[in-house]
Amino acid sequence: MQTFDLEADGLRALNETLQAQVQTTNETAWDVINPRGSHAIAVGLDAPIEVTVNGSTGYYCAGMNQQATVHVKGNVGPGAAENMMSGKLIVDGDASQYAGATGHGGLLVIKGNASSRCGISMKGIDIVVGGNVGHMSAFMAQAGHLVVCGDAGDALGDSIYEAQLFVRGSVKSLGADCIEKEMRPEHIAKLTELLEAAGMDADPADFKRYGSARQLYNFNIDNAY
Note the helical H segments in the chain. 6-9, 11-19, 185-198
Build a one-symbol-per-residue string for 153-172: x at contacts with other proteins by CB under 8 A, - elsewhere.
------x-xx----------
Q: What is the 8-class DSSP label of residue 133?
A: B
Contacts of 169 (CB under 8 A, 6+ apart): 132, 148, 149, 150, 151, 152
**82-to-17, 29, 35 alpha-carbon distances in Å:** 21, 22, 19
Q: Is 9 in the site for other proteins (CB under 8 A)?
A: no
What count of Cα atoms within 13 Å lies in the side-chain half-sphere of residue 183? 16
- Nearer to other proteins by Cβ, of 43 and 202: the residue is 43
Half-sphere exposure of 39 (CA within 13 A, CB side): 3
For other proteins, give the closer residue by CB, 164 or 204.
164
Q: Which of 30, 59, 207, 210 binds other proteins (CB under 8 A)?
A: 59
CA quadruple 224, 154, 142, 181: dihedral sign: negative
The CA distance from 72 to 172, in Å, is 29
67 near other proteins, judged by CB under 8 A: no
Minimum Å distance from CB 195 to other proteins?
Answer: 24
Stretch that binds other proteins, among 48-56, 134-142, 187-195, 203-211 (CB under 8 A): 134-142
Using CB under 8 A, which of 21, 52, 69, 102 touches other proteins? 102
Q: C-alpha angle 82/88/92, rounded to 5°? A: 90
What one-character DSSP code corresponds to residue 4?
A: E
Between 58 and 157, name the residue whose CB sits nearer to other proteins.
58
Window of 1-9, 28-36, 127-135, 213-221 that interacts with other proteins by CB under 8 A: 213-221
- With binding defined as CB under 8 A, does residue 101 bind other proteins? yes
Interface residues toward other proteins, by CB under 8 A: 11-12, 15-16, 19, 39-40, 43-44, 46, 58-60, 63-64, 66, 78-79, 82-83, 85, 97-98, 101-102, 104, 117, 120-121, 123-124, 139-140, 142-143, 159, 161-162, 217-219, 221
